[in-house]
Amino acid sequence: MKVKTLIERFEQFAPKTIAEPKDPIGLQLGSLEADFHKVLVTLDVRPEVVDEAIAVGADLIFAHHPVMFHPARNLDLDDPQNQMYATLLQHHITVYAAHTNLDSAEGGMNDWLAAALGLTNTVGLVDGVTETNYLLTVHVQPVYADAVRLAMVGAGAGDISRYAGASYEWNGTTWFTPMQGADPELGPVGERNSTDELAIQMRVPNAKLQAVVAAVNEVYPGGHPALELTKLDHEGHQFSMGRIGDLSKTMTVREFAEYCKQVFNVDGLRVIADDMDKPVQRIAVLGGDGGKFFKTAQRKGADAYVTGDVYYHTGHDMIAAHFPVIDPGHHIESICKPHLTALFKQWAQQNQWQIEIEPSKLNTDPFTFI
């Protein structure tokens, strides 16, 4: 199986278009056309993870954090980072990364973190990309309408609020004059003719547009039916980074901090609070480096905020705002490993992919609490 087969399916779940600007996501090293049989799922791509991939026989590494945040200035192999690239190439291992697109995806990173905390009634925290919606109109002969309609719905068209597969359709007559090279079944060259047609119109999100058009072309005899595309400027799906929701019961800041240690299995964490006995129940969470969004969390009604990598001076601002923040570290995003593994196994079973999926067993957290 080719790498691009898995990646195309993944990008339906977490489109590259919803990543934050300048985030270096996607193919990091290797080729999407490469064949693979085993994928290692990891949070970070570090030399020890590459060694693990070689040991287990993986020829694809799927990571959350990009391996190339900054371009290499040279290929000096005395640099451990460059040597890691060379090792990957030497063993024909492809590397792909899904970062802020996985953070914003529905059912992705921040939903996994919110679920781990037991939050309910969750909504988005920080507005991300608004995905463009289109109206796609396909003109077909009535005999082919059912096949085209089902293909469009199957590829993701027609979802409106709580309704799936919604379409607007109308009948009409198309008049035309066949020119040289036209389909002979549609009349003699140069002679005015007409045919009955059905127009099928559905809403399609940008991320699914290519797949929907391909599905229509696949089922329509001869391919390339008449298509009309209209961009909907004033609507689209709002993706969000982070989540905000409710704990099942009120806790003090101190109790909630201890709860976070258990949930994320960390030996220590940082608490930024001027009142450890303050009651909290509505919680915001954002995986990774989310300290700069604490005012958003406070404004949206959170009693406390869980995020990583809080800076010293930002911590002072949080204290001044009387807003408690729990920093269990960036590494809590390793929650992606079991979830992505389960997701890939589900897709493999659905599509009869003959591949193996294995989560990395390494802890790549650079910090040790003593």
Parallel, antiparallel, or unpaired: how do β-strands 270-272 and 120-140 relate? unpaired
Q: Is 64 annotated as a binding residue?
A: yes
Strands, E assignment, the chain: 26-29, 38-42, 60-63, 94-97, 120-140, 168-176, 193-205, 226-252, 270-272, 279-289, 304-308, 325-327, 356-359
Nearest-Å Rg of the Cα atoms of the chain is: 25
| Distance, CA of 260 to CA of 306 (rounded, Å) | 9
- Residue 144 near residue 221, CB atoms below 8 Å: yes
| Distance, CA of 31 to CA of 3 (rounded, Å) | 8
Which residues share a beta bridge with 229? 136
Which residues share a beta bridge with 183? none
What is the three-class DSSP state of 71?
Answer: coil
Q: Is 103 annotated as a binding residue?
A: yes
Q: Residue 184 burial by CB count (10 A; 0-12/13-18/19+): exposed, middle or buried?
A: exposed
Q: Is 99 annotated as a binding residue?
A: no
Query: For residue 54, what are the contacts with CB-CB under 8 A and spacing of at least 6?
Result: 87, 91, 93
Query: For residue 8, what are the contacts with CB-CB under 8 A and spacing of at least 6?
Result: none
Minimal CA–CA distance to 60: which of 10, 131, 101, 122?
10
From edge to edge, which strands make up the β-sheet containing 26-29? 26-29, 94-97, 60-63, 38-42, 356-359
What is the three-class DSSP state of 84?
Answer: helix
Token representation of residue 292: 């700069």
Question: Binding site: residue ranges?
Answer: 64-65, 103, 330, 333
Question: Binding site for a divalent metal cation: residue ranges?
Answer: 64-65, 103, 330, 333
